[in-house]
């Protein structure tokens, strides 16, 4: 009977994913233990450290079917760790005492940590797939809405015009940085552990490093320079990485749920019959994916802090901090997977209301263009005087309800410098989008380079879109 959101038969695929849960399941973890024990036996048999017959016999039993999971539960509760229970069952399953060569020169933490790294490798592949999917959808939104004006908001107030494509490209640039971070951290993190009791391989003497190197080659993991039994920055780095990733997803969700407000109504989560419905208010369309992302992100962040605490381990083998990882790391990955899946669904089918974006731009009667007017007057009146003058007129518009354009045109200090037609041009949002288009092109060009590294790209200086070069 499931007791957590992650394993709930009702909520599990909302707050996590089946693929990520499978990676951190008991069955996968135990199979990784067995994979490591088998690889160790193969290597040591090949090097003549244990009899080849023993190596073959051990490998023959390194299958999940060999392990009695109920018995392993009892063994783990008695011993405190599952690895020794797995080894004991392998020994018992092997003929003629050959299983006694199993786990030769290893310690429990070697197997546990290396299995964790194997879980990280598989889990990070899922994270990368989801990030690439999100990046592709954001790139599509940036491209499609490159020139679609909307209001930028500062402190939740109207600021200046931008484009929705620009907004999407800002998010895309962040997701691309996460993919770069993932590429950079893999060589540091995907390092196995094999050091014996205190990490110095004393049980294997001169053969220790040869076994270590061959074992990591078998498992396709990096070889450690030195034991990391109580040096946990690699695990903490992965946690912090996912804290950053989910932080970006939280920013995405926050923007979308604010844009879904009735008073704003510029964007909506993908429509599905009944999704986001209220039990009492038929008109409602709640931001469901955004809410789930927000919840996942918050808990991931708390678990990241727990793994930073887990770095403070004592001496060469710790008393307690290590076990924090067993609790927090699976939760971080499972909840991150949920947030990524919800975000992928969200941006993959995001509904944009361009008409409403324009209505919101016009909602203040042109006040959103006050900076443009100020900058237009600045060369003539001086920037500070232009600011103060436009500020006073804005206050008058708000107090009187009169047209911003009318009050600007009637002002005696402004009239000698800008006529009504020039002022009207300054009040058109499409004329004050800055370099939104060019910046979108830059981000899209980088996205193209990242996804198709063999395709050269060009950037147009005059507002054209970054496109593949004609050169082969």
The catalytic residue among 144, 278, 383, 420 is 278
Contact (Cβ atoms closer than 8 angstroms) between residue 81 and residue 185: no
Confirm whether 278 is a catalytic residue: yes
Contacting residues for 208 by C-beta, under 8 A, at least 6 apart:
105, 196, 200, 201, 202
**Alpha-carbon torsion angle 11, 12, 16, 17, nearest 10:** -130
Give the pair of three-digit tokens for residue 359. Answer: 């209505």
DSSP designation for 207: G
Residue 191: strand pairing partners? 222
Structure tokens at 95: 């003929």
Cβ atoms 382, 397 nearer than 8 A: no
Q: Which listed residue (317, 356, 385, 459) is catalytic?
A: 317
Number of C-beta neighbours around residue 366 at 10 A: 24
Taking a C-beta distance cutoff of 8 angstroms, is the pair 341, 130 a contact? Answer: yes
Is 203 catalytic? The answer is no
Q: Tokens 């990520």 belong to which residue?
A: 20
DSSP bridge pairs for 467: 458
**Spatial distance between the Cα atoms of 37 and 94, rounded to a whole number of angstroms:** 13
- Both tokens of 278, joined, read 């209220």
Catalytic residues: 278, 317
């Amino acid at each position: 009977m499931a007791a957590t959101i992650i394993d709930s038969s009702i909520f599990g695929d909302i707050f996590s994913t089946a693929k990520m849960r499978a990676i951190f399941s008991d069955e996968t973890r135990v199979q990784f233990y067995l994979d490591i024990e088998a690889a160790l036996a193969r290597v040591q048999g090949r090097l003549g450290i244990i009899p080849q017959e023993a190596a073959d016999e051990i490998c023959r039993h390194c299958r999940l079917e060999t392990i009695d999971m109920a018995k392993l539960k009892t063994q783990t509760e008695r011993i405190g760790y599952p690895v020794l229970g797995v080894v004991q069952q392998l020994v018992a399953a092997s003929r003629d005492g050959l299983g006694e060569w199993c786990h030769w020169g290893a310690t429990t933490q070697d197997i546990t940590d290396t299995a964790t790294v194997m879980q990280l490798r598989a889990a990070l592949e899922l994270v990368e797939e989801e990030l690439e999917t999100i990046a592709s959808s954001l790139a599509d939104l940036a491209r499609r809405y490159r020139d679609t004006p909307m209001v930028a908001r500062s402190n939740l107030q109207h600021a200046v015009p931008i484009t929705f494509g620009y907004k999407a490209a800002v998010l895309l640039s962040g997701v691309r940085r996460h993919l770069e971070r993932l590429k950079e951290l893999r060589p540091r993190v995907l390092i196995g552990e094999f050091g014996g009791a205190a990490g110095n391989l004393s049980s294997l003497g001169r053969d220790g490093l040869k076994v270590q190197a061959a074992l990591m080659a078998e498992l396709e993991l990096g070889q450690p320079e030195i034991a990391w039994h109580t040096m946990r920055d690699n695990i903490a780095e992965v946690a912090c990485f996912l804290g950053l990733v989910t932080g970006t997803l939280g920013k995405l969700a926050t923007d979308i749920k604010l844009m879904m407000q009735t008073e704003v109504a510029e964007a909506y989560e993908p429509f599905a019959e009944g999704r986001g419905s209220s039990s009492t208010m038929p008109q409602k369309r709640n931001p469901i994916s955004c809410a789930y992302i927000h919840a996942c992100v918050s808990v991931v962040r708390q678990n990241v802090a727990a793994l930073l605490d887990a770095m403070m381990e004592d001496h060469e083998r710790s008393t307690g901090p290590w076990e924090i990882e067993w609790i927090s790391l699976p939760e971080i990955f499972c909840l991150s997977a949920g947030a990524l899946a919800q975000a992928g669904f969200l941006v993959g089918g995001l509904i944009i209301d361009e008409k409403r974006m324009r209505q919101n731009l016009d909602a203040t009667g042109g006040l959103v263009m006050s900076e443009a007017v100020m900058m237009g007057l600045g060369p003539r009146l001086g920037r500070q005087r232009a600011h103060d003058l436009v500020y006073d007129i804005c206050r008058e518009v708000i107090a009187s309800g009169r047209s911003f354009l009318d009050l600007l045109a009637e002002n005696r200090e402004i009239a000698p410098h800008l006529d009504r037609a020039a002022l009207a041009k300054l009040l058109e949002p499409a004329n004050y989008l800055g370099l939104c288009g060019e910046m979108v092109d830059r981000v899209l060009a980088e996205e193209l380079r990242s996804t198709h590294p063999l395709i050269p790209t060009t950037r147009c200086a005059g507002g054209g879109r970054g496109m593949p070069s004609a050169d082969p």
